[in-house]
Amino acid sequence: MSFLEGKVLLITGGTGSFGRALTRHLLEHHRPRKIIIFSRDEFKQWQMSKEFPEELYPQLRFFLGDIRDKDRLWFALDRVDYVVHAAALKHVPILEYNPLEAVKTNILGAQNLIEVAVEKGVRKVVALSTDKAVNPVNLYGATKLTMEKLFIAGNVYAGAKETSFCVVRYGNVVGSRGSVIPFFLKLLSQGERELPITDERMTRFWITLEEGIRLVLFALEHGEGGEVFVPKIPSVRIVDIARALCPKCSLKIVGIRPGEKLHETLISEEESRNLYLVKHDGREYFVLLPQFQFEARAPKKWLSYPRVPEGFFYRSDANDWWLEGEELKEFLRKAIGGLQAPAD
């Protein structure tokens, strides 16, 4: 029996790519009593309600609201067991020009959620973070780093209450809005035969929506509070993606954009002092424990697992798992439903 059976879940930012995929997975593989989609875009909620019609999914609810609005969260979190926090502003250049808006949503909105979750007695909240939170070079990464710190410290704020908070941190999601693969596919569908590459050396971590969902559910079920969960996932060269999508296309080097890294880091060397490697259900996860121990709320169940060696760091160009050649093509086929590149 699923630990979610008969439970009430709320997904902030639930109309996004991850929220919709998580909702479908929960409806197909678990039996929650209710799933609440909390988001601020009424049109996207309307679209999602057509994808999940009420007559087939009566346990699905749509709640219009913004995590900036603490009073609205108060009503939304009534009798909720679990929360998956996926709401965020994340467009790097736009946030650089509108920094306070990023702070209001990604930081102050997160704190609103923490406080209301404790007040309402939510069992567990899992927040989605990003590799850009590690050694951040742009405002988006800085707000996500702050969000992580708030969620970890939220376990202290909860005190003796049941509510716990943890974080999942992963890399680029294959096929998500704004990622490079849909961008390349759009250019190819328009007849382009030259794909722009920022830098030939650029590497990224890649994860499918399905693997992201597995990670979130692992954290929801097994997290004690205060952990950052990081999946062991493959790296890929952006050049290899372009060539896999269109082998005969030419590549145009356009230079790294402002606020962009050549390689991404999921775990820094400094963080790895409190890092454990956990194997579960055929997968490997890194579990990062808080640098500052929070007395009785410190997670202890992971201490029996092996620690990573001193000096360990997890960066996309230093990974021991790469997607290349036919393996990359197969990965893309599964992730985006078939290569939509020209036959030549």
The catalytic residues are: 132
Least Cα distance to 118 among 165, 85, 76 occurs for 165
Strands 194-197 and 164-170: unpaired
Contact call for residues 15 and 48 (beta carbons, < 8 A): yes
Distance CA 65, CA 117 (A): 16
Closest CA to 140 of 179, 88, 206: 88
> Three-class SS of residue 188?
helix
CA–CA distance, 239 with 216 (Å, rounded to integer): 30
- The interaxial angle of helices 17-29 and 42-51, nearest 10 deg, is 30
Distance CA 108, CA 68 (A): 7
How many Å apart are CA 61 and CA 104, to the nearest integer?
Answer: 26
CA distance 172 to 179: 7
Instruction: Tell me phi and psi for residue 312, to 5 degrees.
Output: -65, 140
Under 8 Å CB-to-CB from 267, ≥6 apart: which residues?
A: 134, 230, 275, 286, 288, 312, 313, 314
